[in-house]
Chains A and B, each alone.
Chain A
Amino acid sequence: MVKPTDILKEEPILEVRNLQTSFFTEKFEVKAVDGVNFAVPKGKTLGIVGESGSGKSITSLSILRLIQNPGKIIGGEILFKGENLLDKSEAQMRRVRGNEISMIFQEPMTSLNPVYTVGQQISESYRIHQNIGKKEAMLRSIDMLKLVGIPSPEQRVKQYPHELSGGMRQRVMIAMALACDPELLIADEPTTALDVTIQAQILELMKELQQRLGMSIVMITHDLGVVAETCDYVAVMYMGKVVEYAKVADLFKNPKHPYTVGLLNSLPRHDIDLGDEELTVIKGSVPSPDNMPKGCRFAPRCPFASEICVEQLPDLEQSEDGNQIRCWIYTDEWDGDPEVKVNG
């Protein structure tokens, strides 16, 4: 069995082992995260990419133990600097959240409190986690706003979220998340709601801050372009499982899993003209969670699926270039066409 840290060159700051998070309805159990493994390198960025329903957001919420009823983390380990977060008490967890690990969300308007000023909201984390007085906390908030590139921060701290544009709000969210100098930042689709020119500003800011502060980032996104631009490693998720886990350069140069290949092919690009050619599509759609395929989750949509794929779930295995892949094609058990070319 491969370990998620195997592919890293760096020390891991976070290691997730066999994480399982399920939602329980009256009729059935939805396995949103179904045995996920990955590791986040110190000072670098891990991307988690997948389409709706792949479990990428639930994974990130699970790391901070923010899963609420009817959801539950039912198994696995989340090792942050060697300690299992799942063993911690709620009080201990509170000291981790926002202090050692913080998170930014997709929609800055709904994650900021509309009735407090920006300054009050940033100050709060200083006052809670570092026991700093009101005045001093406000001064530090102004510094934070300066750090994230907000012009005239002395005025901005007194403003309410609705007085700011979308890009400015996301900068405020980042300022809040970084206030206590966390070692790990989880960014859940941080630029999805923003226009591309603003997205470029925010991604640039995050990269610059990472270099300056040396933090690690988990970047959760559906956008493979964002992965290519910001990440060092990437885990591709499909139906609650990691199907491919690789160094970013390898994933784009030599994608191995039929799902990854399908995703890359179905993406129309502004820098490549296909002429009248059709986009290559992944047929069908993601099965509903109460109708989970028993073998490989991707088998019903996979153009290469053979008998073993339908019957048995493959494990995440090491490939010859040191990355990890969950697909029968790359194993000795493969019973389909021995000459099959996934990426052709």
Chain B
Amino acid sequence: MAKELLKVTDLKQYFPIKGGMLGRTVNNVQAVDGVTFTVHEGETVSIVGESGCGKSTTGRAILRLDEPTGGQVEFDGEDLLALNNRQMRKKRKDLQIIFQDPYASINPRQTVRQVLEEALEIQNVVPKAERAAKIAELMETVGLGAHQADRFPHEFSGGQRQRIGIARALSVDPKLIIADEAVSALDVSIQAQVINLMKKLQRDFSLTYLFISHDLGVVRHISDRVIVMYLGKIVEIGDKTSIFDNPQHPYTKALLSAIPVPDPDIETKKERIILQGDVPSPINPPAGCRFHTRCPFATDRCKTEVPELRTEEHMKEGHQGACHYIKEIQAGTHEAKY
């Protein structure tokens, strides 16, 4: 097995809510609450979940774009949280991020050349004399013309802009790229082009991806392993075949069954699990299993006891789910209430 590149242990990210006359912290938004996983060199691990599950916050906390409240982040054997700001800035050469909205994440007043040059200069990747050549090479790598480098972002379409975002991330020869909903804003025909590009770049530059997305179709296509999050916690983790073909957690099952499939034959046959209610607020998350308020299988035990991630006998190695009743649901001895 490839070596561990990123190791996240018990990561917590609480955002304080200030209130009262003295502006004291009256409560916390527990956006990420004790998340543990590893990413091996060369693989793509995806984090999926709905709005507010903490998937983006996890990505930002790893890069220390927001300072995590607790836990450890080890990258290539080094504790990232122990670095000071200057060391961290240097370190970001190895960890890059691509954002969702290519309209908001590129400075509209800079030409593409300036955008890329800035990255090259800060991380001092190549000597000044070679920068122009490097920029031309980067543009071609992401499928743009070298002659387009002197244009401004508004002169590009959404898909092309996302290619610029990828070029910027690639410019410093990173080891890990965190892609935060990187293809979500694109139309399907353009999305497919960018996904293919990202897969090709991964092969060519032996990149490791942490791919954050709500789109399970894209995730199945791009990932080796998948992490499913709900309200700040991991509910299930496993290789993609386990997650998509043999999901164990009731939330993962509901999530997968909720996605409409472009095939009316399947649509009419399939049994859709429709969850009741909304995701509760992360300010006062439910005690016990955080999913118990919507879970068709929940019992009193789920309301008090927090389930740990575990692998039951019928599950593949490395496939874990955080539910008290995985075995019973699998055996059919624990029935759904709705």
A contact residues vs B (CB 8 Å cutoff): 51-52, 165, 167-168, 195-201, 203-204, 222-230, 248-249, 252-253, 262-264, 266-274, 278-283, 285
5 contacts between A and B (CB under 8 A): A196-B216, A204-B274, A229-B267, A270-B261, A273-B240
Q: How many residues of B contact A (CB 8 A)?
A: 46
Which of B66-74, B86-94, B122-130, B252-260 faces chain A? Answer: B252-260
Provided the pairs A168-B278, A195-B214, A201-B274 are in contact, do residues A225 and B220 lie with their beta carbons within 8 angstroms? no
Asked if B216 and A270 sit within 8 Å, CB to CB, the answer is: yes
Query: What residues of B have a CB within 8 angstroms of the CB of A228 in the complex?
Result: 260-264, 266-267
Is there a chain A Cβ closer than 8 Å to B196's Cβ?
yes
Partner of A266, one of B50, B189, B241: B189
| CB-CB under 8 A for A268 and B278, given A224-B262, A226-B260 | no
Pick the most buried of A224, A225, A228, A279: most chain B CB atoms within 10 A of its CB: A279
Is the Cβ of B192 less than 8 Å from the Cβ of A268? Answer: yes
Select B188's contact among A227, A263, A273, beta carbons within 8 Å.
Answer: A263
Contact check: which of A204, A252, A270, A281 meets B217 at CB < 8 Å?
Answer: A270
**A268-B195 contact, Cβ under 8 Å, with A222-B187, A229-B260, A273-B220:** yes
Whether B159 and A225, one on each chain, are in contact in the complex, defined by CB atoms closer than 8 angstroms, is no
* Chain A residues, Cβ within 8 Å of B265: 249, 252-253
User: Is B107 engaged at the interface, CB distance under 8 Å to the other chain?
Assistant: no
Is residue B190 contacting chain A, with contact meaning CB distance below 8 A?
A: yes
B260 touches A266 (CB 8 A): no
Task: Tell me the minimal C-beta distance from B290 to chain A in angstroms.
Answer: 14
Which 6 A-B pairs have CB atoms at the shortest separation, nearest pair first?
Answer: A225-B260, A266-B192, A195-B50, A268-B221, A200-B258, A224-B262
A94 to chain B, nearest CB (A): 35
How distant is the Cα of A4 from the Cα of B188 in the complex, in angstroms? 27
Contact of A227 among B218, B220, B240, B262 (CB under 8 A): B262
B interface, CB within 8 angstroms of A: 50-51, 157, 159-160, 187-193, 195-196, 199, 214-222, 240-241, 244, 254-267, 272, 274-275, 278-279
Q: A196-B258, A249-B264 are in contact. List 9 more A-B contacts (CB 8 A).
A: A51-B188, A196-B259, A199-B260, A201-B274, A222-B187, A229-B260, A252-B264, A281-B196, A285-B157
Please, which residues of chain A bring their CB within 8 A of the CB of B264? 228-229, 248-249, 252
Given contacts A199-B258, A222-B187, A285-B190, contact A252 B51 (CB under 8 A): no
A197-B258 CB under 8 A given contacts A248-B264, A266-B189, A270-B219:
yes
Q: Are A281 and B274 in contact (CB under 8 A)?
A: no
Q: Contact between A52 and B187 (Cβ–Cβ < 8 Å)?
A: yes
Task: Indicate which residue in A196, A226, A282 contacts B50 across the interface (CB closer than 8 Å).
Answer: A196
Please tell me which one of the listed residues B217, B241, B263, B267 contacts residue A268 in the complex, with CB atoms under 8 A apart. Answer: B217
Please measure, in the bound complex, the distance between the C-alpha atom of A128 and the C-alpha atom of B50, giving whole angstroms: 39
Q: Do residues B260 and A269 form an inter-chain contact, with CB atoms below 8 A?
A: no
| Chain A residues in 8 Å Cβ range of B262 | 224-225, 227-228, 252, 264, 267, 269
A51 to B255, CA, bound (A): 25
Q: Which residues of A contact B272 (CB under 8 A)?
A: 200, 204
With A196-B214, A279-B195: A269-B258 Cβ-Cβ less than 8 Å: no
- Alpha-carbon distance A200/B240, docked complex (angstroms): 23
A40 vs chain B, min Cβ distance (A): 19
CA distance A52 to B279 in the complex (A): 30
B190/A270 in contact, CB under 8 A? no
Task: Return chain B residues, CB-CB under 8 Å to A51.
Answer: 187-189
Q: When chains A and B are docked, how far (Å) is the Cα of A230 from the Cα of B256?
A: 18
Q: Which residues of A contact B215 (CB under 8 A)?
A: 268
Contact of A274 among B221, B244, B279 (CB under 8 A): B221
Query: What residue in chain A is nearest B275 (Cβ atoms)?
Result: A197
- Residue of chain B at shortest CB distance from A288: B157
A226 contacts across to B, CB distance below 8 A: 260
Contact of B199 among A227, A263, A278 (CB under 8 A): A278
CB-nearest residue of chain B to A224: B262
Q: Which of B160, B215, B262, B272 has the most chain A CB atoms inside 10 A of its CB? A: B262
Q: Please give the distance in Å from B151's CB to the nearest CB on chain A.
A: 15
Give the residue among B188, B220, B256, B259 with the most A Cβ atoms within 10 A: B188
- B222 to chain A: which residues have CB within 8 Å? 268
User: With the chains together, A227 CA to B264 CA distance in Å?
Assistant: 9
User: Which residues of chain A come closer than 8 Å to B189, judged between CB atoms?
Assistant: 51, 262-263, 266, 281-282, 285
Kindly list chain A residues whose C-beta atoms are within 8 Å of the C-beta of B216: 196, 270
Task: Report the separation of the CA atoms of residues A264 and B195 in the bound assembly, to the nearest whole angstrom.
Answer: 15
Query: What is the distance, in angstroms, from B336's C-beta to the closest C-beta of chain A?
Result: 15
A336 to chain B, nearest CB (A): 22
Whole-angstrom CA separation of A321 from B213 in the bound complex: 39
Residues of A contacting B257 in the complex (Cβ-Cβ under 8 angstroms): 200
Chain B contacts for A283, CB-based, 8 A: 193
Report if A225-B261 is in contact (Cβ < 8 Å); known contacts: A204-B274, A267-B217. Answer: yes
A52 to B157, CA, bound (A): 12
Bound CA span A222–B159, Å: 17
Give CA–CA (A278, B217) in the complex, Å.
Answer: 14
Tell me the smallest distance from the CB of B84 to a CB of chain A, in Å. 39
Do residues A270 and B220 form an inter-chain contact, with CB atoms below 8 A?
A: yes
- Is there contact, CB below 8 Å, between B244 and A273? yes
A60 to B270, CA, bound (A): 31
B260 touches A285 (CB 8 A): no
- Cα A280 to Cα B256 with chains together (Å): 23
Partner of B278, one of A167, A227, A266, A278: A167
